[in-house]
Amino acid sequence: MDERDLVLYEEHEGVGIITINRPEVLNAMNTPVMTRLEEVIDALDFNTVRCVVITGAGRKAFVAGADIREMLSFDCQQAYEFSIRGNRVFRKLETLLVPVVAAVNGYALGAGCELAAACDLRIASDTASFGQPEVTLGITPGFGGTQRLARLIGTQNAKDMIFTARRVSAFEAQAMGLISHTYPADRLMSRAVETAEQIAKNVPFAVRACKAAVNEGMHTGLDVALGIEAERFSNCFSTEDHREAMLAFVEKRPPKPFKNR
């Protein structure tokens, strides 16, 4: 397979769709996949892209983990570099200018669970499952699992998943707050795209400001976070799109197409 085919990208009406494409190995993450994923992320054009959906090829797996065959030969330095690379790529996704929706269509284990956790919104098929099985392989999660899971579902739930290495069904993941919605497998992508389209219809500058405010504020105290919100709120008043959106509301008419400025 050409390395460009390891991660596929398509775009339609403001929604970019990224697909991890190694279904023959359950979309396992290896260095070439991460390299290609980073290339796709870096090439996104935010003049046209207003929301991103990420999923896995096939019906069995979102991403079933990092590629164990590749890791088998690692020494400590190579393992460190692999972790740093994965964290850099996932952090780019987490801090992307626009929201990212994970459409979890099957196994989200190890690196797959960590990839989903790096997204802004997570929805899953009713056949999906989540887990951090690294301790069964004598390692720790390496792409943010020990950090993002605790922030998303609390330290007790995160430690339970990581220490026991047990798999969590989509329904249990939803009860924990790891995902927001569960859908039949044949409806997952349509619902993910519908969600992304709904986001894409809103004022782009405002959506991006909301994402930044949440991400920045959650790692500070409340007083600092409220200051971040006030700054992001006031910045919106400098935009043409804000003016058009408010005028349209007052004049009881649909807004003109937003110009992203």
| Rg, Å, the chain Cα set | 19
Q: Residue 204 and residue 99: Cα distance in Å, rounded?
A: 10
CA-based end-to-end distance of the chain: 40
Amino acid at 154: G
Amino acid at 261: R
Phi/psi of residue 239, nearest 5 degrees:
-100, 150
User: In degrees to the nearest 10, what's the CA dihedral of 251, 254, 259, 261?
Assistant: 40
Told to judge if 11 belongs to the known catalytic residues of this protein, a careful annotator would answer: no
DSSP 166-204: --EEHHHHHHHTS-SEEE-GGGHHHHHHHHHHHHHTS-H
The enclosing H or E element of 249 equals: helix 240-250
Q: Residue 242 and residue 229: Cα distance in Å, rounded?
A: 16
Angle (CA) 222-227-230 rounded to 5° is 125
- 222-244 per-residue burial string, b: 16 or more CB within 10 A, e: under 16: eeebeebbeebeeebeebebbeb
Told to judge if 24 belongs to the known catalytic residues of this protein, a careful annotator would answer: no
Catalytic residue among 13, 24, 114, 172: 114
Please give the structure tokens belonging to residue 72.
């088998």
Phi/psi of residue 16, nearest 5 degrees:
-95, 135
Catalytic residue among 13, 70, 134, 244: 134
Which three-class secondary structure state does DSSP give residue 146?
Answer: helix
Known catalytic residues are 114, 134
